[in-house]
Amino acid sequence: MAMTGLEKRFVNRKQKAERNVGRIRRNLDKLNIEQIHDVLEIGCGIGSVSAYLAHTYGMHVWGTDFDPEQVKIAKELYPSSDHLQYKVEDASNLSFESSSFDLVVSQNTFHHIPNWKKAICEVARVLRPHGYFLWFDLAFPKLIIRLFQPLTRNYALYTIDEIRYELIQKNFETISAEKLLHGPFMHHNLVLQKRSKPS
């Protein structure tokens, strides 16, 4: 779902970009970085994380976003190169071939994807065996979901247990999990790896 102008003013701030890059940098320390060559960012926004991975590590990165305006800004700020490309994509219906990536990154994007379960299926499909998934996003208490679900057709509401259940069903195992209080809601930072075969 495309964001509102107010949301874009918030997420496109320099401080927000620096926070997102810092989180990725810390999480990469938990991975076998030498095995990561091809990367997909879901919800790349203005491209700061995608550009960081391409320029700092020489990874081949696709930065994707549902909002064409965000992709346009990303291309202006961090031009495409041999290691960095951008594309407008629907996370619940990705155009990439199966087993195309070693790492998928998603920060604060899933609550903008109404069909978030399908998005998890797509992440599992495009990841290679042993590939990694870095997921950072909001999760909601059951009471909030019960109260607001009828009013939020363009947003996703889920508990962290629901997210983790779907990830397990798609053959992911958790490397690390962290909870962070951010404003009135809890953010969760999950570092996951796709198993080579179903357990």
Which residue's entry shows tokens 């087993």? Answer: 99
**124 domain residue, yes or no:** yes
How big is the chain, counted in residues? 199
- The per-residue pLDDT for 14 is 73
pLDDT digits (tens, 9 = 90+) for 113-153: 999 999 999 999 999 999 999 999 988 777 766 666 656 66
Domain of 114, CATH number, reads 3.40.50.150
Q: Let me know if 85 is exposed, middle or buried by CB neighbors in 10 A (0-12, 13-18, 19+).
A: middle
Range with the poorest average pLDDT among 5-9, 126-130, 183-187, 190-194: 5-9
- Whether residue 175 contacts residue 30, with contact meaning beta carbons closer than 8 Å, is answered with yes
pTM of the full predicted structure? 0.89
**199 domain residue, yes or no:** no
Residues 6+ positions from 170 with CB-CB distance below 8 Å = 120, 121, 123, 124, 194
- Provide the token pair at 111: 């609550």
Residues 6+ positions from 124 with CB-CB distance below 8 Å = 170, 171, 172, 194
**97 domain residue, yes or no:** yes
Residue 19 has pLDDT above 80, yes or no: yes
For the chain, how many structural domains are there in total?
Answer: 1
**141 domain residue, yes or no:** yes
Residue 128 is part of which domain span? 5-194
**Max CA pair span of the chain:** 47
For the chain, percent of residues with pLDDT exceeding 90: 71
CA distance 109 to 114: 11
| Region at 43 (left for phi over 0; alpha for psi -120 to 50; beta for the rest) | left
Of 25, 70, 15, 18, whose CA–CA distance to 44 is shortest? Answer: 70
- The per-residue pLDDT for 142 is 73
Of 163, 158, 156, whose CA–CA distance to 189 is shortest? Answer: 163
**128 domain residue, yes or no:** yes
- Provide the token pair at 47: 């491209």
pLDDT digits (tens, 9 = 90+) for 77-105: 999 999 999 999 999 999 999 999 999 99
